């Protein structure tokens, strides 16, 4: 016998044997040399064959991975669909006659009431096979790919235990142990009994089987993939195992996507549930609606059943007249909300839309307008400054700028409608803390919105209200008009972020400068109203003018409001100290309360003054606001000087005491420092 190993690197691929030399007792050394020479060549050919096969294996493996990946990342979906898409797309690379995937029930815990009969001993506890992580093994679905003959895919939901794909017990065994099982000769196997005859009407007979668990990243077996009958009739080899293992491993890992899909859906449903509940709790109720629009009392009917014209009449009759809301005139910049109740402010808000003439023009149903205004009011929280009164005041100043300030000429009726509505909403659901606090406390609002955090929230909430049919005051607009209103809300509400104020200052000033020398009013009007960007810039600056308008109010109003603003700042300062463990800036530090007048002067000089000065230059009708501002500036300055004088007196007193101290210490030497050492 002569033998020769056929090697691939260190692996032996086979052995060639020459047996029983013909015509002699044994092989000669010459035979050996010749054999060796031939075998060297055989070795090269074998190696080539082997390498080519391995190239094919690796190439199929990378194709299987690439194609599965292409499907797995196509969309987020559930495990069934994802497995199906991936398994179907790789079918040509698997080179077997049939394969199936069995999906396992992932339920770990039972409902407490289903455990009762077991715990009471009335029912036997489960004793069947379990996965390594303790689940009862239950295949809830089989997807079966038949590639022999014409391609066919069968989906078997809730397969019976005696289904041919399960009956042998192999998938259950794999699910129980997590092993890869390669059954080279099914007929000869005595551990598992596979069906010997054709398994179904296609006549398919099982010859050899390769079964693998699909394991997710949490090490849980989520399913079993089973491959039947290699195409060339041979049993599956270790390279087939490599390819299918890469596939099942990839599929197992990719379950992360399905879990995420599920998580995302659940999160969305929870969000929807919370939003619906929120809307139920904040929407103006029937009783609240009737408290303003008392249709039941008047017509003994629900608002939906009443005539709109009659309703407008009723509504107008129920709301205060324009120039007298508890003695305050809605058309004056100096209007004060203090004498008016929060409830009456809702009515005054409604009144302004009638004054603008937009209710009838845009067919706003009276009950929708009332409900919306009431709901906006309820959207404001009971906080120190940024409450409904502030929301109302900003809406009111917008009304005054348009009507009394004559800025309306640049805008359409729909613009004016949207601007006043946006102004009412501009701080809805404010929590009494600013954007920086949201960022520092990493609130969900800050995580959601990258910039203009609170403003984006006020905007989103305003739009949510618009999205509710029963609250949508813009319900009778055309689509294009409605989109325009949405954009105006964006511009108006985002504009109230003071951080953006400095970006628009110069642009606004340029507009004022450009119109100032124009003698023809028409020309000046057209300069703004014909240019959508200039319209937006003026609008944005109007919002700032409204938001800061408390600073222009009569001193008795301003002095009260300034204290409320300060009090809210101080509350934030307290939170910064207690929650964030940080020292607040002086403006928010209640220990710096005495510096308020000085800070007010600074705020007027560096922020507010520009706004009202430029607006007064733009439209002389707005001069009262600038006058109010200057009057308040004088008051604050006076208080600041009182404080300064007090500080100076204290400082002088201190200096005097120090000097006396120095004198006492015996004058002179080292700048009057005492050389005596005192023990504290």
What residues are designated binding site for AMP? 386-390, 427, 547, 600
**161 vs 273 by CB, closer to its own copies:** 273
State the distance between the two ends of the chain, measured CA to CA, in whole angstroms. 108
Surface-to-core class of residue 556, CB atoms within 10 Å of its CB (0-12 exposed, 13-18 middle, 19+ buried): exposed
Nearer to its own copies, 540 or 596 (CB): 540
**Touching its own copies, residues 419-458 (CB under 8 A):** 429, 444-445, 447-448, 457
Cα–Cα distance for residue pair 417/356, rounded to 1 Å: 7
State in angstroms the smallest separation of the CB of 62 from its own copies: 4
Nearer to its own copies, 253 or 331 (CB): 253
How far, in Å, are 73, 101, 202, 243 from residue 256 at the CA level? 11, 18, 36, 21
Of residues 171 through 230, those in contact with its own copies by CB under 8 A are 217
Region near its own copies per CB under 8 A, out of 128-136, 221-229, 313-321, 498-506: 498-506
3 state SS for 449-491? CCCCHHHHHHHHHHHHHHHCHHHCCCCCCCHHHHHHHHHHHHH
The nearer residue to its own copies, 36 or 654, going by C-beta atoms, is: 36
Q: Which stretch binds its own copies (CB under 8 A): 227-235, 503-511, 627-635, 651-659?
A: 503-511
Is residue 468 close enough to count as binding its own copies by CB under 8 A?
Answer: no
Structure-block tokens of residue 530: 């014909």
CB of 237 to its own copies, least distance (A): 16
- Which residue, 364 or 446, has its beta carbon nearer to its own copies? 446
Of 344-352, 477-485, 496-504, 522-530: span binding its own copies (CB under 8 A) = 496-504
- Residue 69 or 563: the one with the smaller Cβ distance to its own copies is 69
Decide: is 62 part of the binding site for its own copies (CB under 8 A): yes
> How many angstroms separate the CA atoms of 39 and 586, rounded?
93
Identify the bridge partners of residue 529 per DSSP, sorted by sequence position.
Answer: none
Residue selected from 127, 232, 238, 281 as contacting its own copies according to rule CB under 8 A:
281
Q: Per CB under 8 A, which region of 156-164, 171-179, 261-269, 291-299 contacts its own copies?
A: 261-269
Write out the two tokens for 261. 């899909």
**Among 494, 543, 604, 608, interactor with its own copies by CB under 8 A:** 494
Binding segment for its own copies (CB under 8 A), chosen from 63-71, 319-327, 366-374, 413-421, is: 63-71
Among 439, 507, 438, 493, which residue's Cα sits nearest to residue 462?
493
Looking up tokens 């105006």 gives 488
Q: Which of 76, 436, 587, 639 binds its own copies (CB under 8 A)?
A: 76
Contacting range for its own copies; rule: CB under 8 A; set: 119-127, 145-153, 233-241, 603-611: 119-127
Q: Which two tokens stand for residue 81?
A: 């669909």
Q: Determine, following the binding rule CB under 8 A, whether residue 533 of this chain makes contact with its own copies.
A: yes
The count of residues interacting with its own copies (CB under 8 A) is 81
Which residue in 133, 272, 307, 360 binds its own copies (CB under 8 A)? Answer: 272
Of 630, 569, 572, 573, residue with least CA distance to 601: 630
Which of helix, strand or coil describes residue 400? helix
Polymer length of the chain: 680
Q: In terms of CB distance, is 264 or 518 closer to its own copies? A: 264
CA–CA distances in Å: residue 63 to residues 52, 244, 484, 634:
16, 12, 51, 80
How far is residue 6 from each of residues 14, 49, 570, 590, measured CA to CA in Å? 5, 12, 87, 90
Between residues 215 and 557, which has the closer beta carbon with respect to its own copies?
A: 215
- Determine, following the binding rule CB under 8 A, whether residue 275 of this chain makes contact with its own copies: yes
CB of 179 to its own copies, least distance (A): 20
563 Cβ contact partners less than 8 Å away, ≥ 6 residues apart: 596
Choose, from 163, 239, 386, 396, the residue flagged as catalytic.
386
Cβ of residue 210: shortest distance to its own copies, in angstroms?
Answer: 18
Residue closest to 289 by CA, chosen among 380, 359, 354, 371: 371
Site for its own copies in 331-390 (CB under 8 A): 378, 381-382
Distance of CA 157 to the CA centre of its chain: 36
DSSP bridge partners of 3: 17
Q: Is 61 in the site for its own copies (CB under 8 A)?
A: yes
List the interface residues with its own copies, window 95-114 (CB under 8 A). 111-113
**Per CB under 8 A, 475 contacts its own copies:** no
| Binding of residue 260 to its own copies (CB under 8 A) | yes
Inter-residue contact 432 to 386 (CB < 8 Å) = yes
Q: Is 246 in the site for its own copies (CB under 8 A)?
A: yes
Beta bridge partners of 214: 223
Smallest Cα–Cα separation from 538: which of 617, 602, 479, 609?
Answer: 617
- 491 makes contact with its own copies (CB under 8 A): yes
Least Å from the CB of residue 362 to its own copies:
24
Among 7, 65, 567, 607, binds its own copies (CB under 8 A): 65
DSSP state of 669: S
Burial of 661 (0-12, 13-18, 19+ CB in 10 A): exposed
CB of 531 to its own copies, least distance (A): 8
Could you tell me which stretch among 67-75, 384-392, 474-482, 522-530 binds its own copies (CB under 8 A)? 67-75
Distance, in Å, from the CA atom of 585 to the CA atom of 572, rounded to the nearest integer, reads 10
CB within 8 Å of 196: residues ≥ 6 apart: 187, 205
Q: Which of 36, 130, 231, 270 is the binder for its own copies (CB under 8 A)?
A: 270
Distances (CA, A) of 403 to 224, 238, 331, 332: 74, 85, 7, 10
* Cβ 73 to its own copies shortest distance, Å: 4
386 carries an active-site annotation: yes
Does position 273 interact with its own copies (CB under 8 A)? The reply is yes
Stretch that binds its own copies, among 172-180, 249-257, 465-473, 612-620 (CB under 8 A): 249-257
By CB under 8 A, tell whether 35 contacts its own copies.
Answer: no
> Smaller CB distance to its own copies: residue 76 or 665?
76
**How would DSSP label each residue in 156-192?**
EES--TTSHHHHTSHHHHHHHH---EEES-GGG-SSS
In this complex, which beta carbon is closest to its own copies, that of residue 234 or of residue 270? 270
- 527 part of the interface to its own copies, by CB under 8 A: no
Task: State which H helix or E strand residue 398 sits in.
Answer: helix 388-403
Are the CB atoms for 54 and 9 separated by under 8 Å?
Answer: no
User: With contact defined as beta carbons under 8 Å apart, do 380 and 424 qualify?
Assistant: no
For the CB of residue 612, give the shortest distance to its own copies in the complex, in Å.
21
Residues annotated in the binding site, as ranges?
386-390, 426-427, 547, 600
For its own copies, the binding residue among 266, 620, 654, 663 (CB under 8 A) is 266
Helix (H) or strand (E) holding 15: strand 11-18
Position 276 contacts its own copies (CB under 8 A):
yes
Task: Return the residues of window 37-56 that contact its own copies according to CB under 8 A.
Answer: 44-45, 47-48, 51-52, 54-55
Q: Is 513 in the site for its own copies (CB under 8 A)?
A: no
Q: How far is the CB of 222 from its own copies (least distance, A)?
A: 13
Q: Under the criterion CB under 8 A, does residue 73 sit at the interface with its own copies?
A: yes
- Cite the active site residues: 386
């Amino acid at each position: 016998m002569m033998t020769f190993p056929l090697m691939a690197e260190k692996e032996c691929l086979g052995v060639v044997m020459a047996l029983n030399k013909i015509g002699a007792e044994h092989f000669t050394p010459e035979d050996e040399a010749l054999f060796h020479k031939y075998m060297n060549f055989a070795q090269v050919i074998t190696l080539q064959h082997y390498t080519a096969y391995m190239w094919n294996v690796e190439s199929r493996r990378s194709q299987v991975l690439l194609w599965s990946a292409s499907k797995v990342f196509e969309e987020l979906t559930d495990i069934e669909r994802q497995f199906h898409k991936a398994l179907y797309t790789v079918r040509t690379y698997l080179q077997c006659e049939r394969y199936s995937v069995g999906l396992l029930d992932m339920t770990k815990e039972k409902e407490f009431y289903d455990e009762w009969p077991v715990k009471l001993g009335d029912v036997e506890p489960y004793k069947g096979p379990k996965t390594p992580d303790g689940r009862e093994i239950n295949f809830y679905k089989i997807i079966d790919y038949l590639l022999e003959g014409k391609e066919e895919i069968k989906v078997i939901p809730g397969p019976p235990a005696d289904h041919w794909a399960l009956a042998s017990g192999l998938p259950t065994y794999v699910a129980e142990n997590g092993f890869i099982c390669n059954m080279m000769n099914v007929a000869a196997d005595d551990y598992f009994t596979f069906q010997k005859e054709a398994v179904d009407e296609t006549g398919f007979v099982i010859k050899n089987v390769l079964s693998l668990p699909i394991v997710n990243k949490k090490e849980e077996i989520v399913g079993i993939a089973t491959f039947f009958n290699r195409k060339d009739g041979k049993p599956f080899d270790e390279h087939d195992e490599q390819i299918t293992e890469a596939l099942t491993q990839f599929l197992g890992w990719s379950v992360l996507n399905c879990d995420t899909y599920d998580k995302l859906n659940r999160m969305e449903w929870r969000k929807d549930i919370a939003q619906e509940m929120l809307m139920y709790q904040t929407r103006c109720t029937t009783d609240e609606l009737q408290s303003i629009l008392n249709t039941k009392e008047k017509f003994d009917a629900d608002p939906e059943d009443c005539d709109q014209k009659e309703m407008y009449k009723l509504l107008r009759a129920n709301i205060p007249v324009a120039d007298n809301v508890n003695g305050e005139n809605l058309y004056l910049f100096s209007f004060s909300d203090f004498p008016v109740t929060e409830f009456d402010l809702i009515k005054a808000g409604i009144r302004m839309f009638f004054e603008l003439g937009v209710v009838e023009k845009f067919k706003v149903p009276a009950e929708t307008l009332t409900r919306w205004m009431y709901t906006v009011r309820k959207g404001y929280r009971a906080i120190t400054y940024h409450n409904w009164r502030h929301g109302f005041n900003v809406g009111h100043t917008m009304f005054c700028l348009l009507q009394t300030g004559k800025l309306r000429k640049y805008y359409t009726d729909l613009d004016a409608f949207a601007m006043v509505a946006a102004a009412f909403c501009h701080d809805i659901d404010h929590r009494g803390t600013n954007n920086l606090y949201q960022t520092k406390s990493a609130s969900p609002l800050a995580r959601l919105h990258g910039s203009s955090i609170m403003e984006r929230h006020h905007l989103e909430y305003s739009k949510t209200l618009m999205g509710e049919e029963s609250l949508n005051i813009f319900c009778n607009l055309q689509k294009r008009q409605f989109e325009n209103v949405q954009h105006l809300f964006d511009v108006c509400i985002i504009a109230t972020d003071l951080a953006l104020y400095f970006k628009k200052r110069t642009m606004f000033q340029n507009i004022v400068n450009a119109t100032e020398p124009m003698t023809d009013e028409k020309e000046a009007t057209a300069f703004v109203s014909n240019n959508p960007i200039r319209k937006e810039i003026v609008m944005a600056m109007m919002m700032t003018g409204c938001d800061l308008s408390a600073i222009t109010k009569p001193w008795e109003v301003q002095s009260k409001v300034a204290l409320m603003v300060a009090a809210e700042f101080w509350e934030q300062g307290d939170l910064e100290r207690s929650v964030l463990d940080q020292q607040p800036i002086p403006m928010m530090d209640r220990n710096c309360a005495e510096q308020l007048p000085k800070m007010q002067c600074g705020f007027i000089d560096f922020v507010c003054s520009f706004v009202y000065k430029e607006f007064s230059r733009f439209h002389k009708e707005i001069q009262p606001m600038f006058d109010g501002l200057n009057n308040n500036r004088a008051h604050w300055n006076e208080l600041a000087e009182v404080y300064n004088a007090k500080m100076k007196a204290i400082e002088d007193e201190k200096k005097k005491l120090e000097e006396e101290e120095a004198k006492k210490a015996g004058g002179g030497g080292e700048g009057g420092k005492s050389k005596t050492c005192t023990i504290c």
